[in-house]
Amino acid sequence: MTIISAHRLAAAFVDVADTLIDEFDLLEFLHMVAERTASLVGAASVGLLLADERGALEFVAASDENTALLELFAMQTREGPCLDAFRTGQPVIDVRLGDAADRWPRFAPRATAAGFTAVHALPLRLRRQVIGALNVFGSPAGGTFDPADVPVIQALADVAAIGLLQERTIRRGEILSEQLQGALNSRIVIEQAKGAVAQAHGVSVDEAFVVLRAHARRHNRRLTDVARLVVTDPAALRALTP
């Protein structure tokens, strides 16, 4: 018995398809996939990690951001469900974090301490290559899903990967590398902007992210554009109101 209605699933795919038509920004797109996946499965948090050209998993986007969650993503360069899904190309489904201390001695206790109870990771597959992983964290409030839903979540993960493979990409394989590096650099700009906003407005870096995202939504602008502006234009930084 699946918990995801066909109607909600269709809505999520339409959203994703809409983004693909607009002028494409990889990081913005991956943020949207993370948010839609989180709301679709009622998960506490969803994150996306991509392998850089040097084969290391890098965090790129999440449904929400806080220091504890970012650390859980960062740790998975060395161990964790995403690394397992990335290496094997197989989904890691519904692992109870309380029982996973042997499997992930560093990751499992930290994830538990952050309030999560279950974790899933699905490989992002592009042709035969695994290019990253979709990470779903469940808490007592939600995010545990029925085995029947696994293909649905995998479909969302595949859509995320397809976003990397647009029409232009098919024409020229190099576009993927260009976009990936661009997204990883945008990721750094967002961290720099969090620091700048935190310092300028006397809030925590976690709150700074919420301020940046709210501003981007209110003004219908991309998060990455707002982030770049506040790091390069002191007036824009001052004008940003928490």
Partner 1 sequence: MSEPQTGPETVRDLIARQPPAPGTTGLLRRVCRAAAQALAASGAGASVMTANGTRGISAASDPASERVEDLQFVLGEGPCIDAFTDTRPVLIPDLADPAAQRWPVYTPAARDSGVCAVFAFPLQVGAARLGVLDVYRDRPGSLTGEELGCALTFADVTVHALLDRERDGDLLGDVRHRAELFQAQGMVMVQLGVPIEEAMIRLRAHAYAEERPIGDVARDVVAGRLRLDRP
Residues that bind partner 1 (CB under 8 A): 51-56, 58-59, 67, 70, 74, 130, 171-174, 177-179, 181-182, 184-186, 188-189, 191-200, 205, 227-228, 231-232, 234, 237
CB of 99 to partner 1, least distance (A): 29
Distances (CA, A) of 90 to 23, 93, 148, 151, 170: 32, 9, 16, 12, 25
The dihedral through the CA atoms of 37, 223, 214, 117 has a sign that is positive
CB of 27 to partner 1, least distance (A): 11
Residue 64 or 191 having the CB closest to partner 1: 191
CB of 25 to partner 1, least distance (A): 11
CB contact burial 36-53 (16+ within 10 A = b; e otherwise):
bbbebbebbbbbbbbbee
CB of 88 to partner 1, least distance (A): 13
Residue 213 or 228 having the CB closest to partner 1: 228
Please check whether residue 203 is in contact with residue 236, taking contact to mean a CB–CB distance below 8 angstroms: no
Distances (CA, A) of 157 to 95, 104, 132, 203, 207: 18, 23, 10, 34, 28
Cα 82 to Cα 73: distance, rounded to the nearest angstrom? 9
Provide CB contacts within 8 A for 74, sequence distance 6+.
59
Residue 34 or 100 having the CB closest to partner 1: 34
Residue 23 or 102 having the CB closest to partner 1: 23
Tokens coding 115:
């309030």
The percent helix, strand, coil of the chain (3-state, each to 5) is: 55, 15, 25
Residue 125 or 194 having the CB closest to partner 1: 194
Q: Is 122 helix (H, G, I), strand (E, B) or coil?
A: strand
Residue 86 or 137 having the CB closest to partner 1: 86
CB of 201 to partner 1, least distance (A): 9
CB of 42 to partner 1, least distance (A): 27
Residue 98 or 234 having the CB closest to partner 1: 234
CB of 128 to partner 1, least distance (A): 12
CA angle 3, 66, 43 (to 5 degrees): 5
